[in-house]
Chains A and B, each alone.
Chain A
Amino acid sequence: MSLPVQVGETADYAIEVEDLAIGYHGKPALTGVTLQVPTHEIFGIIGPANSGKTSFLRAINRMDLMTAGMEVSGSVRVEGRDVRSWRNPYALRQRIGVVFPLPVGLPLTIYDNVALSSRLRGTRKKADLDVIVERCLRRAALWDEVKDRLDSLGSLLSGGQQQRLTIARALSQDPSILLLDEFSIAVDPVTTMRIEEVLAELKSEMTIVLVTNLVQQARRLASRTAFFLTGELVEVTETETMFEGGAQDPRTTAYVEGKFG
């Protein structure tokens, strides 16, 4: 007996979340989230601190397994498949690149930072790694600045360079989904704009979930934007509609107009 396959529906969405609730040690952090992220789209998530944005990202790549006391209920489907049905969560995480608010250059050389993911998957050949490292650094708009010092420590780069290094590292996973968690917090405005350009290009190859504290950043990049507030999803709306005053909920309008948060 074969299971009913819903190709038409599942293939359109990279991430489908249904009735998702997340708590830590029994204390709820996020409740009742249902939304879909279409493939090859930049999906924005905005909301003030403690609204559950980061927890949402952690539920997608099953970091609840690595976090003491984190409980997840409801369903999260990545490319049509429930993340809890992956018997190997490491394989799931390899398909999902993550960029953190504070740039985390691992205490390895620039080269090793970008080659790490491939090495973890068993790529040993120097020639193959060279290609991957150069390609990913180029795509993260960092190659020109570091090509002459690939052997120096990635953790000693400036904040903006480290953040592009982490993006290069995430790209080296060859991900189909990229999760960005307030990537511009520790990055200067010029670098932020460069990264934003990179993201706009990457959209054609992968689905991007952009959690941001800058509402204008969501406006610049995201096709649709979700507004999270104190552990609830207020609404998901076309970004332009949201910013043109067409939000369904008055709290969203107030937030994007800078009246609170």
Chain B
Amino acid sequence: MFEATAQNRSNRKVEGLFRLLFLWMTCMLILPVALILGVLVYRGGPAISWEFLFTQPLDNMTAGGILPALVGTVWLVVVALIASVPVGVAAALYLSEYAPDNRLTRAINLAIINLAGVPSIVHALFGLGAFVIFFRFGTSILAASLTLAVMTLPVVIVATRESLQTVPLAFREACWNMGATRWQTIRKIVLPNAISGILTGVILEVSRTSGETAPIMFTGAAAFIPFLPQGVLDQTMAMSLHLFVISTQVPDVPEHMPFGVALVLISMVLAMNGLSIAFRVYLRGRKKW
């Protein structure tokens, strides 16, 4: 009665093949990530200790800890966030809630996406010219963080705009029809429902910012400074640059040290990403419509 035709059988065979192909590709994707993590834990793990995390580097960075680099990275990320989040969120609000849908808006959106594609070394040179030299901030945390902020602004804008657009238009229309202004609608309805998505974007920005090397090399990070930064106009060490320096510029560094630095850096990023996933799960659990 229900005989499979030749076409049915062939469809089924093709289905199986594609499934296998996609599965294989996914495994190929996981493999390098797992390898990197495995090697880092295996070779860098022994380097990690209380002392490694919380003391100064010694003997031309061949011994001791990474405290100034760790603190420096936190400074750089925090100042970059302070600079980029308000601007990015405001720009996204304008583009998503206020701007008319015309050629200019589309051009601005395109420019933002292009900005995300600019190589980080180009941002570095821009930061050097603009913040270090033109604004006379010197090589400092301020100059480096502003460079990072400019570089990650597109990430914040795009993430914010996307989370704003997950709030249904019907909610806005309902508010507008009650006589609410656009700003009242944003404050009462749109932002409260988009905030978790915006935070997710911010955390992704943090994880990206903390690993960048090129933009801070010319603008504020130094290879070796034996004390912690006291303010935004100081130079600082940073994890990413520290890793670069002890891997390539300093002779006789014990092998476990660069792996240890890399492990700490990647742990920071993973912790941040974990946090952002937790936010998203929380958001889904609290979904209000």
Which residues does A use to contact B, with CB under 8 Å? 61, 63, 66, 68, 90-98, 100, 102, 104-108, 116-117, 120, 153, 155-156, 166, 169-170, 173
Contacts and interface: CB of A to CB of B under 8 A. Distances in A.
Contacts of A104: 170-171, 173-174
Given A91-B179, A106-B175, A116-B188, A155 B101 contact: no
Given A107-B289, A156-B288, 7 more contacts: A63-B173, A63-B177, A68-B100, A93-B176, A94-B178, A98-B178, A102-B170
Contacts of A96: 177
B184 A106 contact: no
Contact of A173 (B176, B179, B189, B193): B179
Contact of B179 (A68, A93, A100): A93
Given A120-B184, A153-B288, A100 B170 contact: yes
23 contacts: A63-B176, A63-B177, A66-B173, A66-B176, A68-B100, A94-B178, A94-B179, A97-B178, A102-B170, A104-B170, A104-B174, A106-B171, A107-B171, A107-B192, A107-B193, A107-B289, A117-B178, A120-B179, A153-B288, A156-B288, A169-B174, A169-B178, A173-B179
B180 interface: yes
Contacts of B60: none
B interface secondary structure, majority = helix
A63 B172 CA distance: 12
B181 interface: yes
A156 to B, nearest CB: 8
A94 B179 CA distance: 5
A97 B173 CA distance: 12
A94 B189 CA distance: 18
B94 to A, nearest CB: 15
A107 B179 contact: no
A119 B289 CA distance: 22
A120 B174 CA distance: 13
Contacts of B173: 63, 66, 100, 104
**Residue among A93, A100, A102 with max Cβ neighbours from chain B (10 Å):** A93
The range of chain B's interface size is 20 to 34
Interface string B64-95: 00000000000000000000000000000000
Contacts of A105: 289
A93 B177 contact: yes
Nearest to A69: B101
B192 to A, nearest CB: 8
Interface string B166-204: 000011011111111100100011001100000000000
B177 to A, nearest CB: 4
B39 to A, nearest CB: 46
Contacts of A92: 179
Nearest to A172: B178
Given A104-B170, A107-B289, A117 B177 contact: no
A96 B181 CA distance: 15
Contacts of B178: 93-94, 97-98, 116-117, 120, 169-170, 173
A153 B175 CA distance: 17
Nearest to B168: A104
B179 A90 contact: yes
